[in-house]
Amino acid sequence: MKVTTEEELAQCEVLLTIEFDPKKEQDLLKKAAKRIAREVKVPGFRPGKAPFNTIVRRFGLEVVQKEALENISEKLIKDALEEADIEPFTQIQLEDVGWDPLVLRLKVPTKPKVELGDYRELRLEAEPVEVTDEDIENTLKEIQEQTATWIPVERPSQLGDLISMTVTEKDGDELLVENESVEHELIAPDEDEESSRPHLMTPLLGLSAGETKTFTVTYPEDFDNEQYAGKEITISAEVSGVKEKELDPLDDEFAQEMSDFETLDEFKEDIHQNLLEQRQRRRDLDLGNEMLDKILDDVVEQLEWPAALEEVEIDDEIKRSEQQLKNMGLTLDSYLQMQNKTQDEWREELRPRITDRLKKGLVLSKIAELEGLVVSQAEILQQAKALADYSGAGDQLWQAILSSQTQQGAIASDVLSNKAILRLGAIARGEAPEPEVEDTTEEEAAETGETAAEVVTEDESPEAEAAADQEETETEVSEQA
């Protein structure tokens, strides 16, 4: 077997030629003929016993050659790649086949080329991060609210109470809801919050158990239920009970109930530290993404990747979309018909988004490599557990992840991407540790899925998405809570 390579056909792509000697070619053809003889009955011969020439005469040499090509072992290709010292980065493509002698020409996608320059010298202005006493008090109040109890009271309803009632709703003479038991908390509407649902606080204030009130509510035109949208609905509410919220006092006993701390002051200090870390992480994610954009502006013309990688990424995106459409009861063909597009047109629409994602992913992978960032199995499992809990799927998703190396690899890529973004944030502040690239080899990183081949920014990653929610609400406290 003779193996040769040619200069790159295109960016990150090598043509590999494998020429088989006549003896090996005949051996492959004879094995192919035997397989055909076993699978197809040849008159006058037992299964698998028809001679090579008989098979060729009966089915044609091209059929035997095709069978031989389809069954050329992966080991032969692997041996040829090793001999040529080429490691394919994604799927290999058969470019051409010649016979007599058998010659295979393969397009081999090679590793993308990413040169970043001196990114460690870049700096950005970082906003100072602080946590005020008011922030801590607001977090404590939110915990109070979450753990509050409702106590029945014998008085007219007030703001903040919980009303139990049965409701009848009519559109003119048409009965929409009859005697539905509901509970409604009397909360003042937020003036800054847009809502398409009418607010029922005002008509329900001042009602006591046993009282009934009938009133009308006009629903907006864009209300999501067509039975109500744009209509004036008559509501009759019969109150069966009124409850007021009872909050636990903020004291040492509260701290002991909500955490592993003995005093409220210790609990407050822990809340302070958690809020500080959340805000620092959010700041570094923002800085890291700004740094990523600056680096991309500088190196975008030098980035190269194999065309096959781009097509694989588009194929994967289409598969994900097909699954999402299937979950909605649609097929890809029906969706494209509704959009009045062909699949080729849709592929080209996807391409700019995919190439943008590839650029970011390749840069983050290079950052992770240069900075010596790795992902441990413990981190993968920790993130998998968080995803399972966050999704509500619990043990079912957890077990699915544990049994899938592909899913674990995707999680590792997500975690590594976020590590790279956070490291860029630290670099932007001039506070990044020196990289320790010698601790992990490329092979070790590949074995644990520690490459950020596909970027997940803080807007796309479930982990970073959860962090953003926490930053907005500031409701998370210590792990002891």
pLDDT digits (tens, 9 = 90+) for 169-203: 999 999 999 888 999 999 887 655 555 566 777 88
Contacts of residue 387, Cβ cutoff 8 Å, sequence gap at least 6: 397, 401, 411, 462
Are residues 389 and 435 both part of a single domain?
A: yes
Q: What is the pLDDT of residue 195?
A: 56
152 forms beta bridges with 243
Candidates 347, 351, 376, 372; CA nearest to 441 is 372
Domain membership of residue 141 (yes or no) is no
pLDDT of residue 434: 87
In a domain, 317, yes or no: yes
196 and 290 both lie in a single domain: no
Same domain, 323 and 466: yes
Do the Cβ atoms of 464 and 457 come closer than 8 Å?
yes
Please write the tens of the pLDDT for every residue from 216-270: 998 888 888 888 889 999 999 999 999 999 999 999 999 999 999 999 999 999 9
Whole-number average pLDDT of the chain: 85
Indicate the residue among 109, 125, 160 that finishes a domain. Answer: 109
Q: Note whether residue 479 is domain-resident.
A: no
- Long-range contacts at 392-397 (CB < 8 A, ≥ 24 apart): none
Domain membership of residue 388 (yes or no) is yes
Do both 225 and 267 map to the same domain?
A: no
Q: Are 316 and 425 in a shared domain?
A: yes
Same domain, 274 and 226: no
- Total domains present in the chain: 3
Domain boundary among the residues 77, 109, 141 is at: 109
Output the pLDDT for position 9.
65
Whether residue 468 sits in one domain with residue 325: yes
As a whole number of Å, the CA-based R_g of the chain is 33
Give yes or no: residues 242 and 272 share one domain: no
For residues 235-251, b (16+ Cβ closer than 10 Å) or e, as one string?
bbbbbebbbbeeeeebe
pLDDT in tens, 75-110: 888 888 988 888 898 888 888 899 988 899 888 998
Answer whether residue 138 is part of any domain: no
The answer on 437 and 326 residing in a single domain is yes
Question: Does one domain contain both 78 and 173?
Answer: no
Burial of 396 (0-12, 13-18, 19+ CB in 10 A): exposed
Amino acid 300: pLDDT: 83
In a domain, 131, yes or no: no
Phi-psi region of 362 (alpha: psi -120 to 50; beta: other; left: phi over 0): alpha
Taking residue 62's Cβ as centre, other Cβ atoms within 10 Å add up to: 10
Q: How far apart are CA 9 and CA 4, in angstroms?
A: 14
Range of the domain at 206: 149-246
Let me know if residue 251 belongs to a domain: no
pLDDT digits (tens, 9 = 90+) for 284-338: 999 999 999 999 998 887 888 998 899 999 999 999 999 999 988 999 999 999 9
Average pLDDT over every residue of 439-467: 40
- Residues 172 and 310 grouped into a single domain: no
Q: What is the CATH classification number for the domain harbouring 27? A: 3.30.70.1050
End position of a domain, from candidates 189, 216, 246:
246
Task: Output the domain CATH number for residue 166.
Answer: 3.10.50.30
> pLDDT digits over 367-426, tens only?
999 999 999 999 988 888 888 887 777 777 778 877 888 888 888 999 999 999 999 999
For the entire predicted model, the pTM comes to 0.71
Are 391 and 450 part of one and the same domain?
Answer: yes
